[in-house]
Each structure stands twice: as structure tokens, then as C-alpha cells.
Amino acid sequence: MRVKGLRTIVNRRALNPAMYPRTNERFPDEKLGRILTQLRALRSRLNLLAIQHGLFYSLAMLIAAGAIVYACAFTLSPLNFMIIAAIAAATAPVAIVTATRTAWSMRASTARAASLADERAELKGRLATIVTIAQHRRRGPMWSYLVEDTLSRSEEFAPARIERRRISKGIFALAGALVLAGIAWPISKIRHAQIAAANQRPDDLTLDLNDLHLRPADPGDDSGVTVSADPATMRQLQARLAHDGLDAGQGNSTSLDSLVNHARDLAGNLQSKLTGQKSQPQRLNLKLADAADPFAQDKDRNNNFAQQHKHNDNPAGQFQRDQPAGKEGDLPQNPVHNENQDQDRPAGAGDMGNQSQGGKNSADDNQDQTADANSQQNGDQGSNGGAAHGIGADPDSLFGAPAQAKLGSEGFEIAIEARPLDKGPKGAGHAYEPPKVRTTLSTDQEPDEPVARTDVPSEDRTTIKRVFER
């Protein structure tokens, strides 16, 4: 604007030199030009800072939001990731718009630059008055004095003195965002390596259903545990959950639950895309065994296994959604054996261990049971301490010096996530809150350690030896 005004003055002078005598008015205009040039430099600096402000803050917001989302994709559960990602997605645009608006409001016209210079250099309105009056044709007799007076203070409103910064403070925000991104990158790498390692380490754990301590899990809690069991045990688990009031979510299917499930799946897909992992990470397979009612279990197992071969969506697999492919049909292969139960049980007592084979072929069920019983009698000495002193042991080596057994009595707690397949993301699902399972050793159960050799009174030895010889 000021430039245009100056050009107008110059052009008029060229057209009519008599009206604008050069001797008297040239010098004030030249001085005015120097003042306005200085103001334009200040204006450019202010506008550059405004542009930097908008650019740096916008970039900082984008980078920070991206870094947070990327890091959370590796570290958080889908539900938490979804929340964080939604917050980031909502916050980042607002912050960018705010930064842009602030930058827009920071832009300076020459008049604004003059006012700012007046304020910061304490020029008491000299520059603002010059900029305003310069547009008028009649400038008054004191115009020359004002220009001269202002020009004599030109050092006070030099651009470098009025605005010392060449780089906006937004650079710090950008640097902070880059640092955040720098932190998020190794976090994602470390987490990626951990997940990859977990995928290569299948963990199986077999527990007795009676030893489970059930309680509700937090929504979205991903314990990384997959539960598998035979259908009868699963039903009993469900019955327990119902009894403990932990399966309320299954019974009350609401649109909110469905929405949460969809959101979780969406977040999971997004996480998969961000992390580059196509499948779910390998989980700890928690295999349940019901040692309390082996006969009923056998009966249920036979019925359910027959159905299982007829339908792919077998009940036994309803808790196996998160299992890796190829393991969906698997059933516990190493059920927990209570030594006392094993000894008290008839020959079919070892059928629990046969469940895995039953999943393959129900026709071989009896044969498998016999084989399983034999394997029990042959002694799984590596895993079952009772076998060393039980059936199949050498009667001559029954007695010896008492051993110092390592008896463990501690239990453990583990959280499991289990969702029926038909309640999963592909089904008409509703939210299922996975139970947290606390397993403690039964008071009737000996620790999972070899039974310690103990002293046998000499009068009883003959009787015991006779039993084993029989």
C-alpha cells in the first residue's frame, strides 16, 4: 500500500514538476521512503515468522500424532489403541487449524508492523502516524518534522531490534515432535521384535478347571492367553462363569457391545496395517481339564466329539478363536493328572489325555484310550512324579532311603481372553468380557513334583511288595 502511494507521488511529480517542487519535497519523500523500506523489511520478517509458526506447529502436530499412533499400535491393546488413535485423529486437525488461524492472525500489514514497532521501540505512535498520514495528499506543515524526527530514530525500529527472532518458536514444537517420533521408532522396533519372538514360542499350559479362580477382566484387556478344552470342560467353564455372574455380557447383547466389538476389530486391523503383522501374535494356550468328573466328561466328550466331526464350528473350538491356524481342532494333549485320581480311577481314567487323538478320529477312541492307559502305565517319568512309584514300578526297588522332596504349593494367576467364535467379529457378536483365572493348587492335590520316597515300616513292606508283585 505504501509502495503504491510512493509511486503515485513520484508519477505526479513527473507529470507536473511545478506542482511538486523537487527542492522542498524530495527530501521528505526520500526519507519517508527509507522509513517505509525499513517498515517493509520488518513486515517481511513478521510475516515470515507467522508462516513459520503455522508451518512448524502444523508439522509438529502431524508428526507427534503420527508417532503416538504408531507407537500405540505396537504397545496397546486394540481398544486402547482405538481410543488413543481417535483422540489423536481428533486433536491433530484441531491443533493444525488453530495453528493456522494463529499464523493468519500474526500476519502483519505495514500499518500493523508500524504499530508493533511503535510499541516495542516506544516511538509513541510516530510510525503509525507516518504510515497513516502518508496516504493522504495533505500532510500538514509538521509532516517534514515528523519524518525527520522518525528517521533520526531509525535504529530504534530496525527490524532486527523490533523482532529479533528469525526462526519461529514453533521450531521447538517441531523438534519436540521429532524427538517423540525418534522415541516411538525404537519402541516400535523393540515391540516388534518381542512380538516376533512370542510368535515363535508356543506356550501351552494345562490346568484343572477346579483350580481356576474366575473374575471379570477389564474391557479390552488382552492377556494373550487362548483357552482350549474339550466341549464338556468348556461347558463347565461356561457354567462356572454363569454361576459366578461373569458371563453377563454374553446374555445381554446390546448394540453398544456390538459397536465395541466392531471398533475393536477395526482397531485391530489398523494396528495390523501399521505394525505389518498379518496375524495375531502367538498366545499362551491355556488348556483346561476337568478332573472332578471324569466319567461325565468322558460321556460328554464322546458325544461332542461326534458332533465336532460333523460341524466345523465345533463347541470345543468356540474358545479357540485366537489360536493360530492349524491348531483350531486341537484339544489338550497333556491334561493335568491328579495322582490320587489316577490311582483311584479305573482303566479309562486316562482318557483325558486321549482327547487330542479323539479330535482326529473318534473311531479310534477305544484304541487310543488303551494306548493312553499303557503310556500312563509305562510312566511319564519326565512329567509325572507319581509314575516312579506307581504302576509298572519294580517291586524290588520300592524301598530305599527317604528323599527330600521339593514340594511346591504356590498357585498362580493368569488372565485369559476367550471369546466364542460365533460371538467374534465375524459373528453376530456381543462383547464377552474375558475372565481372569486364578489357579491355586487343590488342598487334596499333591504338588506337581515327584512323590518323595519315604520310610516304610518293616512290617508293612511285605504287604506292599505283595501288592506290586500282583
Partner 1 sequence: MTDMDSAALETPTVADFARTFRRIQAEIHKVIIGHEQAVEEMLSALFAGGHVLIEGVPGTGKTTLVKTLGLALNLSFNRIQFTVDLMPADITGTRVIETGADGRREFTFQPGPVFCHILLGDEINRATPKTQSALLEAMAELQVTVAGITHVLPPPYFVMATLNPIEMEGTYPLPEAQLDRFLFKVRLNYPDEAELTRIISSTTGPEDAGIEAVFHVAEAPQRIEALKKLVREVMVAPEIEQYAARVVRATQPQNSRFVSDEARAVHDDMVNRYVLFGSSPRGAQALILGAKVRALLDGRANVAREDIDRVAVPGLAHRIMLNYAAHSDGIDAVHIVERVLKSVRAARA
Return residues touching partner 1 (CB under 8 A): 118, 124-126, 128-130, 132-133, 139-143, 145-146, 149
| Cβ pair 2, 39 in contact under 8 A | yes
C-alpha cell at 104: 493468519
Q: Residue 41: which of 76, 77, 79, 2 has the closest Cα? A: 2
Task: Write the CB contacts of 391 (distance below 8 Å, at least 6 apart in sequence).
Answer: 376, 377, 379
Q: Is 204 helix (H, G, I), strand (E, B) or coil?
A: strand
Nearer to partner 1, 143 or 305 (CB): 143
DSSP-derived 3-state class of residue 41: helix
Q: Which is nearer to partner 1, 21 or 125 (CB)?
A: 125
Phi, psi dihedrals of residue 398, rounded to the nearest 5°: -65, -35
How far, in Å, CA of 192 to CA of 330, rounded?
28
Q: Which is nearer to partner 1, 126 or 321 (CB)?
A: 126
CB of 258 to partner 1, least distance (A): 52
Beta pairing partners, 206: 287
CB of 145 to partner 1, least distance (A): 5
Q: Which is nearer to partner 1, 52 or 150 (CB)?
A: 150
Which residue bears the cell 468380557? Answer: 433
User: CA 10: distance to chain centroid?
Assistant: 69
Rounded distance, CA 422 to CA 420, Å? 5
Q: How many residues are listed for the chain in this entry? A: 470
Helix (H, G, I), strand (E, B) or coil at 143: helix
Q: Which is nearer to partner 1, 152 or 378 (CB)?
A: 152
Alpha helices in 76-163 (DSSP H): 78-106, 110-121, 126-133, 143-151, 159-162
Compute the least distance from the CB of residue 20 to partner 1, in Å. Answer: 20
Of 141 and 457, which CB lies nearer to partner 1 in the complex structure?
A: 141
> Which C-beta is closer to partner 1: that of 125 or that of 411?
125
CB of 40 to partner 1, least distance (A): 19
Nearer to partner 1, 134 or 451 (CB): 134
Q: Is 243:273 a contact under the CB 8 Å cutoff? A: no
Rounded Cα distance between 2 and 166, Å, is 24
The answer to whether the beta carbons of residues 449 and 406 sit under 8 Å apart is yes
| Residue keyed to cell 493368569 | 414
Q: Which residue in the block uniquely carries the three cell numbers 484343572? A: 208
Could you tell me the smallest distance in angstroms from the CB atom of residue 158 to partner 1?
Answer: 20
Query: What is the distance of C-alpha 39 from the center of its chain?
Result: 53
- Map residue 401 onto helix, strand or coil: coil
Instruction: Quote the CA–CA distance of 441 and 293 in Å, as a whole number.
Output: 17
Residue 122 or 313: the one with the smaller Cβ distance to partner 1 is 122
Strand-pair partners of 204: 285
332 close to 228: Cβ distance less than 8 angstroms = yes
Of 178, 182, 188, 186, nearest to 60 (Cα)?
A: 178
**Axis-axis angle for helices 22-75, 110-121 (nearest 10):** 90
- Smallest gap from Cβ 142 to partner 1, in A, equals 4
Q: Which is nearer to partner 1, 127 or 336 (CB)?
A: 127
Closest CA to 369 of 383, 356, 384, 379: 356
Instruction: Indicate the residue among 138 and 278 with the shorter CB distance to partner 1.
Output: 138
Q: Which is nearer to partner 1, 113 or 349 (CB)?
A: 113
Q: What's the closest the beta carbon of residue 152 comes to partner 1, in angstroms?
A: 11
